[in-house]
Amino acid sequence: MRTTISLLFSLRKPKNYQSGEMPIYLRITVDGQRAELAVSRKCDPERWDAVSGRAIGSKADSRTLNAYLDDIQFKIYDLQRRMSDADENITAETLKNRFIGKVEKARTLLAVFEDHNQKMESLVGQEFEKSTLQRYETCLMHTKDFMQLQYNISDIPVTRINFAFLNDFEYYLRSVRKCGNNSAIKYIKNLGKIVRICLGNGWLTVNPYLNYKPKQKAVHREVLTKEELQRLTKKKFSVERLSAVRDMFVFCCYTGLAYVDVHKLKRSELVKGIDGDLWIYTSRQKTDTLSRIPVLPVALSIIRAYEDHAQCVIKDTLLPVMSNQKMNAYLKEIADLCKIKKPLTFHIARHTFATTVTLNNGVPIESVAKMMGHTSIKTTQIYAKVMDHKISEDMSQLKKKLAIG
């Protein structure tokens, strides 16, 4: 990317100025951003041409002054050329600082990355999940290993992060780390946050992601059919723990809440809604967005069944939720007993709410997005999957309309 630079010498009127000479300043403009510095010379306003930024006349003092200003101009343009050749970040401020001998410490990618992760670690539990921090730590590790293997270096100036760097990093993730397409893209996006920090601070002026357009592949998201959900809901278990885990899973199928959100759900978050019925008002831990969910009869019956449970009373929670590891282990046993061939997890419960329970029953996607706490409809569209029977129902209605016509 070509950098546009302009230099202008001008006189500046000092405070309480009456008459006589005025100090000369140089204004450096790079891509619209300005920086100024005094050049340690003065000139009488009567002998100054504001357009050319030079002293007027052919007297020796004018020629000496202009030669001095020409020399400054030459040095700055030469400095700009050398910085450009070295792929250094060029701004008005960096040019000024380099010219006057004030050299800033070069920002390096891993230093910025590590600083980001340290700040994120201090906010785990407030603004970030531990799993989010772990993902960035893994990305940092991959970035370190990649640079050591690809360039035999331990760090790199942020100004050298370009399109080729991203392409090479993606290839490394796929070939050496054996990452699938979507995993590789996620790591590239994690690195993108670090690049945005550099851009925002002016340490990097050209966005290397500008022409980098990675695409995630659509992932097949497993959901329960209406029949499977009914079979699971009605199943009688002789073991109490299996009944409890099944109930927690079904509750998620009818509310769309993730495991972590059900685990922390408080009794105070069950409130009377705008329609007079009971709703769940809770903040999603992953995105810190508010989910407002009308409580369907199946979910309400589960809440009522456990309202006097000792764990709920002691912890003031809505449901007695076990650890995720235990729950998922019991779900495998439940799937076998219910003759469900799909791997039951709480992710499937959330997907089932989006698809089988809501979208396939005509609930608008905008409403589903609000209930699930999505900040973008695009996220909800990933969950959405139209079942064959829904297509059949819709086409049957169309056939009837066409027959009437």
**CATH classification of the domain holding 277:** 1.10.443.10
Sheet with 270-272, edge to edge strand ranges: 270-272, 278-283, 290-294
Residue 402 lies in a domain: no
The whole-angstrom separation of Cα 321 and Cα 341 is 24
| DSSP H or E run through 54 | strand 54-55
Domain boundary among 99, 122, 149: 99
Same domain, 119 and 179: yes
**Average confidence (pLDDT) over 73-100:** 86
Same domain, 195 and 231: no
Query: What is the pLDDT at residue 286?
Result: 67
Task: Give the pLDDT confidence of 282-292 residue by residue, as tens digits.
Answer: 887 666 678 88
Q: Is 60 exceeded by the pLDDT of residue 6?
A: yes
Residue 92 lies in a domain: yes
Q: With bands split at pLDDT 50, 70 and 90, how would you rate the model's confidence at 119?
A: very high
Q: With bands split at pLDDT 50, 70 and 90, how would you rate the model's confidence at 32?
A: confident
Of 241, 264, 238, the closest CA to residue 129 belongs to: 264
Dihedral sign, CA of 380, 383, 384, 390? negative
Same domain, 240 and 175: no
Q: Is 90 exceeded by the pLDDT of residue 195?
A: yes
Domain boundary among 68, 99, 130: 99
**Average confidence (pLDDT) over 24-48:** 93
Residue 304 lies in a domain: yes
Domain boundary among 73, 99, 125: 99
Task: Give the pLDDT confidence of 276-313 residue by residue, as tens digits.
Answer: 999 999 887 666 678 889 999 999 999 999 999 999 99
Q: Provide the CATH number for the domain around residue 167.
A: 1.10.150
Considering the entire predicted model, what is its pTM? 0.57
User: Is pLDDT larger for residue 93 or for residue 250?
Assistant: 250
Cβ–Cβ contacts within 10 Å for residue 183, how many? 14
Residue 19 lies in a domain: yes
Q: Is 60 exceeded by the pLDDT of residue 235?
A: yes
**Average confidence (pLDDT) over 349-368:** 89
Query: What is the pLDDT at residue 384?
Result: 63
**Average confidence (pLDDT) over 201-216:** 84
Same domain, 255 and 290: yes
**Average confidence (pLDDT) over 104-130:** 87
Looking at every residue in the chain, the average pLDDT score rounds to: 89
Phi, psi of 26 (to 5 degrees): -110, 125
**3-state SS string for 19-40:** CCCEEEEEEEEECCEEEEEEEE
Query: What is the pLDDT at residue 172?
Result: 96
Residue 220 lies in a domain: no
Residue given tokens 């921090």 in the structure block? 133
- Percent residues over pLDDT 90 in the chain: 58
Q: With bands split at pLDDT 50, 70 and 90, how would you rate the model's confidence at 70?
A: very high
Same domain, 373 and 242: yes
**Average confidence (pLDDT) over 49-59:** 93
Query: What is the pLDDT at residue 394?
Result: 73
**3-state SS string for 235-279:** CCCCCHHHHHHHHHHHHHHCCCCCHHHHHCCEHHHEEECCCCCEE
Domain count, the chain: 3
**Structure tokens that stand for 258 in this block:** 């993730």
**Average confidence (pLDDT) over 346-353:** 90
Contact between 357 and 253 (Cβ < 8 Å): yes
Residue 234 lies in a domain: yes
